[in-house]
Chain A
Amino acid sequence: MDSFAQKWIDLPEFSDAQMTNVKLSKSEKSLSFLLNSSTSPNHLCVLNLFNTEYTKVIDTLNPAMHPDDLVEAEVVRYPSFDGLQIPAVLYKPKNMKKGEKIPAIVWVHGGPGGQSRIDYHAQFQFLAHHGYAILSVNNRGSSGYGKTFLKAADGRHGDLDLKDCIEAKKFLVSTGYIDQNEISIMGHSYGGTTVGFKS
């Protein structure tokens, strides 16, 4: 909002990307921010508020790599054991042959109360690059889907949230390109604890 002219400033659309660490400069001439997507790590960008043009000041991807070789993640939703829709971020390898069955990894984020989003994730990109599909699950108890969803696993952690992750297997098999005998589960922090409850 231009508070002198009392009118809104139209900013460029960044589809499938996230802006974080947004700063208005002291002069109020520039907006600077970090911009990331599934195929690009946090780039430092500066946007001129007079002409709304922006420049990528620092490209943080390894210069030896090209974003087109990386996997664009997509958000999917699948029904859990009780019908609740579970959002998840899917990384599907790029160079799959027709009819090929590939292994998959279900990833459980930390928290409880964290969220998997479409941002650059070197580990997922590496695995997808080498032929694994990754499904990063936002089981009930995750942030970003309202208070009811966030509190839906309260008192039942390690049970309901884990069931949401286990149901991911049915979704993966339903895609038609996942080998149902080659599905594994891993997680970080509380996600690792969740995975531990399964064994």
Chain B
Amino acid sequence: MEYKNIKKYTIEDFLDTETITNHILSDDDLYALYSSNKSGNFNAYIRNLEDGEEKQLTFFSFRTLFLYRD
């Protein structure tokens, strides 16, 4: 398939991708807890799965927080 008008992206655009490393659902299936690097490094976030509201839980700027649970 030919795509004639492809928007030109810069390396900054490509590097602006959010990375989620691990996640856990709450016992009532209403929240997802996950680690994301959207702040610049990895921090913990929680999201309400019904209304999509997201809350940042940790605010490390020079440490990395990964969630881990088997």
* Interface set of A (CB-CB < 8 Å, partner B): 21, 23, 25-27, 29-30, 32, 34, 41-42, 44, 46, 55, 57-58, 60-62, 64-66, 68-69, 94-95, 120, 122-123, 125-126, 129
Bound-state Cα–Cα, A46 to B22, Å: 13
- Report which of B14, B23, B27, B36 forms a contact with A122, defined as CB distance below 8 A: B14
Interchain CB contact under 8 A, A66 and B7: yes
6 nearest A-B residue pairs (beta carbon): A60-B18, A62-B16, A25-B25, A122-B14, A126-B14, A26-B27
**If the complex has contacts A27-B27, A30-B25, are A44 and B34 also in contact, measured as CB distance less than 8 A?**
yes
**If the complex has contacts A62-B13, A65-B13, are A29 and B29 also in contact, measured as CB distance less than 8 A?**
yes
Interchain CB contact under 8 A, B14 and A60: no
Provide the B25-41 mask, 1 if CB < 8 A to any CB of A, else 0.
Answer: 10111001010100000
B contacts with A: majority SS: loop
Bound-state Cα–Cα, A66 to B7, Å: 9
A contacts with B: majority SS: mixed
* Interface set of B (CB-CB < 8 Å, partner A): 2-4, 6-9, 11, 13-20, 22-25, 27-29, 32, 34, 36, 47, 49, 52
Residues of A within 8 A of B52 (CB): 57
**If the complex has contacts A60-B19, A68-B3, A69-B7, are A46 and B32 also in contact, measured as CB distance less than 8 A?**
yes
- Report which of B15, B25, B28 forms a contact with A46, defined as CB distance below 8 A: B25
Interchain CB contact under 8 A, B25 and A58: no
CB within 8 Å: A-B pair count:
85
Whole-angstrom distance between the Cβ of B66 and the nearest chain A Cβ? 12
Interchain CB contact under 8 A, B29 and A122: no
Residues of B within 8 A of A129 (CB): 6, 8-9, 14
Interchain CB contact under 8 A, B32 and A57: yes
Nearest opposing residue in chain A for B25, CB measure: A25
Interchain CB contact under 8 A, A32 and B6: no
**If the complex has contacts A21-B22, A44-B23, A57-B49, are A122 and B15 also in contact, measured as CB distance less than 8 A?**
yes
Nearest opposing residue in chain B for A98, CB measure: B2
Interchain CB contact under 8 A, A32 and B17: no
Interchain CB contact under 8 A, A57 and B47: yes
**Apart from A62-B16, A120-B17, A126-B11, 7 more pairs, CB < 8 Å:** A42-B19, A42-B20, A57-B47, A58-B34, A62-B13, A122-B14, A126-B9
- Report which of A23, A34, A41, A55 forms a contact with B17, defined as CB distance below 8 A: A41
Nearest opposing residue in chain B for A124, CB measure: B14
